[in-house]
Amino acid sequence: MYPKSFKKLIDHFASLPSVGPKMAERLVLHLFKQEAEKLEVFAEDLRNLKTSLNFCRRCFNICEKEYCAVCSDSSRDQQLICVVEDPLDAIAIEKTGQYKGIYHILGGLISPLKNKDEFSLRLKELENRVKEEATREIFIATNPTTEGDTTALYIRRIFKDQPVKITRLARGLATGGDIEYADEITLTEALTNRRELV
């Protein structure tokens, strides 16, 4: 039904999250109508994605250098670590302008349904950091979902006997909601009213 090269691109786009086959068709047609030079830049940026970006060596946020902008900023509170599921959550929190600590990106949540256990998350790295950086507070900002809560409790257990305070994002975000999509006012409130996890 489709020319071969057209179909190949549709399959690429349709494999992306939130893009259905119909949307993929429209995107490919839209690209086909663009100037060749514009497409060249697009292709070049795509090619460079994996070479120009990497994970921050300290917090695993995405960045272009060895360390991300937050980790490199000495005015940030280096003893307050906010634990999030992925880089987009850190970006959402940064947008509020209310958080002055640093981050730790877990790279997922504990989820038996998705076959994700505690060993697939960057928890060992978190333990090492807390030890080496003499962390004062771990602020867990995982989504208010079963998976987010399970992960938060698991982290609580790891640090049970250690002199570090564990806090959790305040309720206020809808249960089952996603930090990434929360509006800034709600997220700011949840950040400022964080509570100790006991």
- Judged by the rule CB under 5 A, the positions of this chain that interact with Zn ion are 56, 58-59, 61, 68, 71
Nearer to Zn ion, 61 or 143 (CB): 61
One-letter amino acid at 144 equals P
Nearer to Zn ion, 71 or 83 (CB): 71
Q: Tell the smallest beta-carbon distance from residue 52 to Zn ion (Å).
A: 17
Using only C-alpha atoms, the chain has a radius of gyration, in whole angstroms, of 20
46 forms bridges with which residues in the sheet? none
Where does residue 177 fall: left (phi above 0), alpha (psi -120 to 50 degrees), or beta otherwise? Answer: beta
How far is the C-alpha of 57 from the C-alpha of 31, rounded, in Å? 36
Nearer to Zn ion, 61 or 135 (CB): 61
Q: Tell the smallest beta-carbon distance from residue 116 to Zn ion (Å).
A: 22
Q: Tell the smallest beta-carbon distance from residue 25 to Zn ion (Å).
A: 39
Q: Tell the smallest beta-carbon distance from residue 69 to Zn ion (Å).
A: 8
**Cβ(86)–Cβ(148) under 8 Å?**
no
Looking from the CA of 55 toward its CB, the CA atoms found within 13 Å total 12
> Helix 184-192 to helix 87-96 angle, to the nearest 10 degrees?
90
Nearer to Zn ion, 60 or 110 (CB): 60
Q: Tell the smallest beta-carbon distance from residue 61 to Zn ion (Å).
A: 5
Nearer to Zn ion, 104 or 168 (CB): 104
Q: Tell the smallest beta-carbon distance from residue 60 to Zn ion (Å).
A: 7
Nearer to Zn ion, 68 or 182 (CB): 68
SS3 171: strand
Cα angle value 131/135/140 (rounded, 5°) = 110
How far is the C-alpha of 15 from the C-alpha of 13, rounded, in Å? 5
